[in-house]
Amino acid sequence: MIAYHFAAAADNLTPADLDHALSMGWFRMRQAIFTTTHLNLEECHRVHWLRYALTEIRDHRSHRQIRKKNSSYRVEIQLLEEVHAEQEELYSRYRAGIDFGAGSIHESLFGDDLNQFNPYTTHCISIYDKHKLIAGGYFDTGEVSAASILHFYDPAYKRNSPGKYLILVTVDFLRSQGFQLYYPGYVIAGKRKMDYKLFLGKEAAKYFDPATNSWKYFDDGILVPEVLSPEDRNKVIVALS
């Protein structure tokens, strides 16, 4: 069994550096970058980082249905300059209905830094119903890769699958700009709440295998909870500490 957790500063991270880090299963954590094999929730859970080659993502019926539900809304994508109060207020309402995530957008992106120093090239997505902000998100870009960092939405619009729509909007933008790879984060073995990241299509999804330092096509078996011996559980806990 492999268990590790590493983190590093990202102060001098270039777009090419981000591409490489993502390709090795590393991901943004506030202003730093990290990688891990496990999360310590109620129990230790195996995590698997995902990525998609944008050219391999097929148009699914579910994608078309989600696009149709949200077709009347206006989408804006801009480079991040600052986090606005309107976005924080919407995130606060979204955060009240979930049991994970940072306490604010600022905390998620910048941690404790009041100066909002950002070593990443970050884009902000804003989705409006007329003049009302109903969903938002952030993603970082390298030279050929991009990674979603945070999504949030008005709970009143949940029936429209805004979280998945934000992913589709991101993919559309990346394709239009000539990017090659999209990293939506990780799935958690035995915890279904992150499985929505697979809706782009399991046939196109790949997961990072730390044993071989390579990306393999998705296998449902990675979602089966890992059975840990007491010795292995201690190994994971030590790795995460």
pLDDT, one tens digit per residue, over 148-197 is: 999 999 999 999 999 999 999 999 999 999 999 999 999 999 888 899 99
Determine the pLDDT at residue 64.
97
- In the chain, the DSSP E strands lie at 5-9, 27-29, 32-36, 38-40, 44-53, 74-79, 121-129, 132-141, 145-153, 181-188, 205-209, 214-217
Strand partners, 135: 127, 153
Stretches in the chain below the pLDDT threshold 70 = 41-42, 99-102, 113-116
How far is Cα 103 from Cα 115, in angstroms, rounded to an integer? Answer: 18
Q: Which residues neighbour 89 within 8 Å (Cβ) at sequence distance 6 or greater?
A: none
Quote the pLDDT of residue 100: 66
Residue-level pLDDT at 144: 98
Q: What is the pLDDT of residue 233?
A: 82
**Residue 134 has which token pair?**
């109903």
Please give the structure tokens belonging to residue 231: 């010795």
- What pLDDT is recorded for position 112? 76
Q: What is the pLDDT of residues 168-182, one digit of tens each?
A: 999 999 999 999 999
φ/ψ (deg, to 5) at 199:
-65, -20
CATH code for the part of the protein at 5-240:
3.40.630.30
Domain boundaries, the chain: 5-240
